[in-house]
A and B are shown apart, each in its own frame.
Chain A
């Protein structure tokens, strides 16, 4: 006689990324304890994340004490670019990983002398979707869009728009050359996140950076 198999359904209520969230909470506690304001910078490849950080580090030179973590698939190029402006840059090679995870941030932070640091920038892997779901322990998520991507990108990436504490619209210097509908972009953002500040910037010309720096200093 065949053995009777008994099936049991076990109800659970658990976040799938709970393990990551726990590490993120520990990162957050540690950064807060040290008084470090931290930013998870999320944007598409080529939107200007590294360029924006270069311009930002230059503007903060001598006044703030930043550290930078850069997630990149394989190369060290972004880390090298940023190391010209900041002596605390850690490159996190994610290999095939399309986002940073909290444990990678924890391990990178362990390599930095954090005593003097008061500001932490984390350049996430270029991707507008899954980095949003992986909490790193940051104080604020910044969504970086750029004019060259088109004005429909906010509508197409509602998760980032909804989760962002600040939206930056980069490459604003290209406005005269592109048919980017600034009002429609903003209207799409507003539908999902009615109060998020939107700052127009150009990492290349420096236009609008004052407002971004003021937001960081606030």
Chain B
């Protein structure tokens, strides 16, 4: 069976988090932002994350997925707004404003718990 494509993203992310994780302490949360353009399912990402981190030093870390909508910019009136879909007309009448953001796939924060 073909793996869901979220799986390889989760694999890359797990390797990246392990590189950043300090030797002393436990990673409890991992925050990522995902643009809508990437076509990634947050739920599939979280399930893949659990599978790839299982049995590793970062097992149990919660994956927080901040799903970013398309940001649409209208070249006619200059308006910029978030939209759940890429194909929308602008209220100024321009039928085809273009998405200008929504392709992010970034690791933005780690939360580390240290015994003191």
A: which residues have CB within 8 A of B?
A: 3-20, 73, 96-99, 101, 127, 129-130, 133, 155, 157-159, 162, 188, 190-192, 194
Contact = CB atoms under 8 A, between A and B. Distances in A.
Considering residues A3, A98, A158, which has the most beta carbons from chain B within 10 angstroms of its beta carbon? A158
A16 B20 contact: no
B37 A12 contact: no
A129 B106 CA distance: 17
Contact of A7 (B37, B99, B103, B111): B111
Given A9-B109, A12-B110, A13-B108, 13 more contacts: A3-B115, A5-B114, A5-B116, A10-B109, A12-B109, A16-B32, A17-B105, A19-B16, A99-B8, A130-B8, A133-B9, A162-B37, A194-B96
A156 B106 CA distance: 23
B54 interface: no
A173 to B, nearest CB: 29
Contact of A96 (B2, B20, B96): B2
Contacts of A190: 96
B86 A191 contact: yes
Tell me if B's interface is mostly helix, strand, loop or mixed: mixed
Contact of A159 (B29, B38, B109): B38
B79 interface: no
Nearest to B27: A10
A53 to B, nearest CB: 22
Interface in B84-116: 86-87, 96, 98-99, 103, 105-116
Given A8-B112, A9-B110, A20-B12, A162 B103 contact: yes
22 contacts: A4-B116, A5-B114, A6-B116, A8-B111, A9-B29, A9-B109, A10-B20, A10-B109, A12-B108, A14-B16, A18-B16, A73-B2, A97-B8, A98-B5, A98-B8, A127-B5, A158-B99, A159-B37, A162-B99, A191-B86, A192-B98, A194-B96
B39 interface: yes
